[in-house]
Amino acid sequence: MIIDQQADFRSLLMHHVTTHWPDAIISAYDPTSAGHLPDEFGGAGNDIILLGSRHGEDRDGVEVLERFKARAKFPPVIYFGTRDDESAAKALRPDAHFMRDRIRHDSLIVSLSEALLSNQHLTSTKSLFVGDVRSGIHPLIKGYRFIRKLGSTEHSGVYLAERESTHMQIVLKVLRQMPSHGDGIDAFDRFLQEYETIAEMDHPNIVKIYDLGVSDDHAHIAMEYLDGGDLRVKIDNGVAQSDAVNYLRQIASALSAVHEKNVLHRDLKPGNIMLRKDDSIALIDFGLAKQAKLESSIAKKGEISGTPYYMSPEQGHGSPVDVRSDIYSLGAIFFELLTKRKPYGGDTAMAIIYKHAQAAIPLLPPHLSHHQALINLMMAKLPEDRLQSVTEIEEWL
């Protein structure tokens, strides 16, 4: 359903939709000639609502959007607004947001497809419309069959898919949109950097990369599907001491290969460490990785990136970092593997960052005390007091 008072704009949206889904059934609604939709309107019979900002002099688009979002089980809403109402509209969290005078076809189709995939109450009986979305991982990425969504971030979606040519299950990481300015450029740079960082590494404990695709409006990375879950799940279920040591060895081996390429990971955490069915480790998510030799020129002064629970004191305070920062993060993970608890807790991120810099190194329980010396050397407050290379971890073990 397309709702806006401007006939030309309704026709424009209709053209975008039917170009990609020729058999879509579209109802166009003019709130000035047909009257405003009643408050009890629940979107019934529609899979998605395309809501424009023009509704006559007595009502604006943000007000209508607010009414729609307040109703339970309302279909996904894509909002088309102006600079004047951008902040107010985004605060209401529509399923996607566009400037009505700057609509790019590919970006719109991607947003429509993702909104339809996320909607668990599809009412359409037209299989050519809904089925076309559900049968493909992404309307602009050919050659892959969608299985399910695995997760998402502000800039990208992560999907489990099957490569049609080989029937091999892979993970697709898709940059949602190729923005033309501001944070979007940083997001795209990090996306390409992640591919370039991992693609040149051939190590059993680093995720394998198969393909990179880039178009005017999106980019995607095809990578190995790691079906054993992440280390967070293992920790929550409890890890035997021997397994904790084994995992540490594998992560350290992967980090050694990373550091040999003059790369820092900078976001080591259990959620970025995956397992295969054979219990082998694979390091993932190099989105924050930096070339160590370029660190000082790339990083903004005072920039903080990473996860507070595992962040080195220098990283938490925006100071320059090197391989010893990754060693600190790995020490925090090893402590949690052994004890099932994080080294430091706090009510805020800054409280945790402060403890990393000022609180005493956490103590292991007595039955694990033989690992305390290694924890001390990995989690020393000053980089010069830590192990200077991950290769030293194996020697201590």
> What is the tens place of the pLDDT at every residue in 17-69?
888 887 788 888 999 988 888 888 888 888 899 999 999 888 899 999 999 99
DSSP letter (8 states) at residue 366 = G
Residues 6+ apart with CB under 8 A from 228: 274, 275, 276, 277, 278, 279
- Domain count along the chain: 3
The terminus-to-terminus CA distance of the chain in angstroms comes to 63
- Residue 369 sits in the same domain as residue 248: yes
Residue of 184, 164, 166 lying closest to 176 (CA atoms):
184
**34 Cβ contact list (under 8 Å, min separation 6):** none
Q: What is the pTM of this model?
A: 0.63
pLDDT of residue 292: 46
127: in domain: no
CATH number of the domain bearing residue 187: 3.30.200.20
Query: In whole angstroms, how far apart are CA 161 and each of 129, 138, 164, 206, 277?
Result: 20, 10, 9, 20, 18
Give the span between the Cα atoms of 246 and 279, in whole angstroms. Answer: 10
Together in a domain, 196 and 241: no
Task: Please give the helix or strand (H or E) that residue 96 lies within, else none.
Answer: strand 96-99
Q: Measure CA 184 to chain center.
A: 14
Question: Are 382 and 273 members of one domain?
Answer: yes
| 126 in any annotated domain | no
Give the number of other CB atoms < 10 A from CB of residue 231. Answer: 22
Q: Which residue range forms the structural domain that includes residue 50?
A: 2-103+113-121
**Are 96 and 218 in the same domain?**
no
| 117 and 146 fall within a common domain | no
Identify whether 44 is part of a domain: yes
Is 371 found in the same domain as 266?
yes
Of 224, 244, 274, at which residue does a domain stop? Answer: 224
The 8-class DSSP code of residue 62 comes to H
Query: Active-site residue among 132, 267, 285, 326?
Result: 267
Together in a domain, 285 and 326: yes
Low-confidence ranges of the chain (pLDDT < 50): 123-137, 179-184, 291-305
pLDDT on residue 187: 63
Active site residue 189: no
